């Protein structure tokens, strides 16, 4: 039997760990794995792929990025903004199916976030056997407690805040750190708590500049002359909208720039010297954490198991420390966002973290 594997959407640490798991599990069954380059684009005729062998993937588990490449801007983009879905044209689907049939691929494993899995769902609905693997540093996919790549991104944020603490203290400054996450605040929330931020601004909680400034000035009364503020790229004030760096044309908008806006307003309101650091794609790069290596490998093995059991149209899912599966449709129907009244937000507020509300 021959199966296909591709990565869609943005890159993240742990993709190679999934490839390692898929190839190893398939080899134990006597199957071959074709890895398609640059996501769904590799399915276009005549096909861009390579045969993945165990001896070539044994040492990749620890590597960042992806040996297959990926794409989030090609012909098969399945999302057009928050909640928007685009159907892939029939001629593109037919071209991809012809490539898969020509190569004798019996089933396809699609690794990606909500956009890539939306496309995978269309492949399944149009009759091709597909299994999905959740991947996003944003951790915003429904039906799974965690996606690989998230822990690695949070670790980058935490390390960055550790470094910003010392320079903030040296100059008695307010340091604003803008992080990724799109329309969900998971990276900002976890990274901000772990890194000791005094304020965390997330998309799920519209914030007031005045309240954030008040919390910074209140800290000074207790001898804290510096403060760290983490702001998610999709965060917005109560009287304004999200800041967009690029409208994206017909595709997803590119968020970014809210950190500079927050830094400027806080400087005006507090009178304190304020600086902004924007992490950007640093959060996607580098080697995966041990958690993401193990989780990615387990996801890859489970995906092969689902194919063996002929349970197509399903996505690998992680819940209560167990790797199982759910229908892909359950994972892409809506974004998983932070609950403003949830336990982790309440806990953060209990130790003095300001959310600007």
**188, 71: one domain:** no
Q: How far is CA 179 from CA 160, 200, 219, in A?
A: 11, 11, 23
Instruction: Round to whole Å and give the CA distance between 265 and 279.
Output: 20
Claim to verify: residue 171 and residue 271 sit in the same structural domain? yes
Q: What is the pTM of this model?
A: 0.93
104 is catalytic: no
pLDDT of residue 82: 56
Same domain, 296 and 236: no
Residues 10 and 141 in one domain: yes
Q: How far apart are CA 210 and CA 85, in angstroms?
A: 37
* Total residue length of the chain: 357
* H-assigned helices in the chain: 15-28, 54-57, 90-102, 114-125, 150-171, 186-194, 209-221, 258-270, 290-308, 328-332, 343-350
Say whether both 236 and 297 belong to one domain: no
Q: Which residues of the chain have pLDDT under 70?
A: 77-85, 247-252
Retrieve residue 339's tokens. Answer: 């609950």
352 within some domain: no
Considering the domain architecture, whether residues 84 and 184 belong to the same structural domain is answered as no
Q: Which residue has the tokens 């798991």?
A: 21
Whether 7 and 137 map to the same domain: the answer is yes
Q: Are both 209 and 106 inside the same structural domain?
A: no
Is the distance from CB of 157 to CB of 230 less than 8 angstroms? yes
Count of domains forming the chain: 2
Domain span at 204 = 155-285
Give the Cα-Cα-Cα angle 307, 310, 313 (nearest 5 degrees).
80
Name residue 32's beta-bridge partners. 2
Strands 314-319 and 199-201: unpaired
Q: Decide: residue 329, CB within 10 A, 0-12 exposed, 13-18 middle, 19+ buried.
A: middle
Residues paired with 125 in a beta bridge: none
138, 140, 151, 292: the catalytic one is: 138
Amino acid 71: pLDDT: 83
**Residue 345 lies inside a defined structural domain of this protein:** no
Q: How many CB atoms are closer than 10 A to CB 57?
A: 20
Same domain for 304 and 254 = no
C-alpha to C-alpha distance for 184 and 200, rounded to whole angstroms: 13
pLDDT tens by residue, 271-308? 999 999 999 999 999 999 999 999 999 999 999 999 99
Question: Is the domain of 87 the same as that of 165?
Answer: no
Indicate the residue among 256, 285, 314 that finishes a domain: 285
Backbone angles phi, psi at 43, to 5 degrees: -85, -15
> Which of 246, 269, 285 is a domain's end point?
285
Report residue 49 CA to chain centroid gap.
Answer: 25
175 burial level (CB within 10 Å; 0-12, 13-18, 19+): buried
CA distance 227 to 220: 9
Q: What is the CATH number of the domain that holds 256?
A: 3.40.50.460
Who's near 200: CB < 8 A, 6+ residues apart?
185, 188, 189, 192, 193, 229, 230, 231, 348, 353, 354, 355
């Amino acid at each position: 039997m021959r199966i296909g594997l591709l990565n869609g959407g943005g890159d993240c640490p742990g993709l190679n760990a999934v490839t390692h798991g898929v190839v190893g599990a398939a080899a134990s069954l006597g199957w071959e794995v074709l890895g398609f380059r640059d996501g769904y684009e590799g399915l276009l005729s005549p096909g861009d792929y390579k045969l993945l062998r165990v001896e070539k993937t044994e040492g990749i588990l620890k590597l960042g990025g992806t040996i297959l490449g990926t794409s989030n801007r090609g012909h098969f983009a399945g999302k057009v903004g928050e909640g928007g879905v685009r159907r892939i044209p029939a001629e593109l689907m037919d071209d991809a199916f012809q490539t898969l049939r020509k190569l004798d691929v019996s089933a396809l494993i699609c690794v990606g976030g909500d956009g890539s899995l939306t496309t995978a769902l269309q492949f399944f609905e149009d009759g091709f056997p597909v299994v999905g693997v959740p991947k996003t540093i944003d951790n915003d996919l429904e039906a799974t407690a965690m996606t690989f790549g998230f822990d690695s991104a949070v670790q980058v944020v935490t390390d960055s805040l550790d470094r910003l603490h010392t320079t903030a203290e040296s100059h008695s400054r307010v340091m604003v750190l803008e992080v990724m996450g799109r329309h969900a605040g998971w990276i900002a929330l976890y990274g901000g708590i772990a890194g000791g931020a005094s304020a965390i601004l997330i998309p799920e909680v519209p914030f007031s500049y005045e309240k954030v400034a008040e919390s910074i000035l209140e800290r000074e009364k207790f001898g804290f002359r510096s403060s760290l503020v983490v702001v998610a790229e999709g965060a917005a004030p109560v009287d304004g909208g999200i800041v967009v760096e690029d409208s994206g044309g017909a595709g997803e908008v590119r968020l970014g720039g809210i950190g500079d806006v927050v830094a400027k307003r806080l400087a005006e309101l507090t009178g304190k010297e304020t600086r902004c650091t924007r992490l950007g794609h640093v959060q996607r790069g580098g080697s995966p954490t041990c958690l993401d290596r193990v989780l990615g490998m387990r996801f890859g093995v489970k995906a092969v198991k689902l194919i063996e059991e002929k349970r197509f149209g399903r996505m690998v899912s992680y819940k209560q420390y167990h790797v199982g599966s759910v229908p892909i449709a359950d994972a892409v129907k809506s974004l998983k966002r932070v609950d403003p009244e949830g336990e982790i937000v309440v806990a953060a507020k209990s130790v003095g973290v300001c959310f600007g509300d």
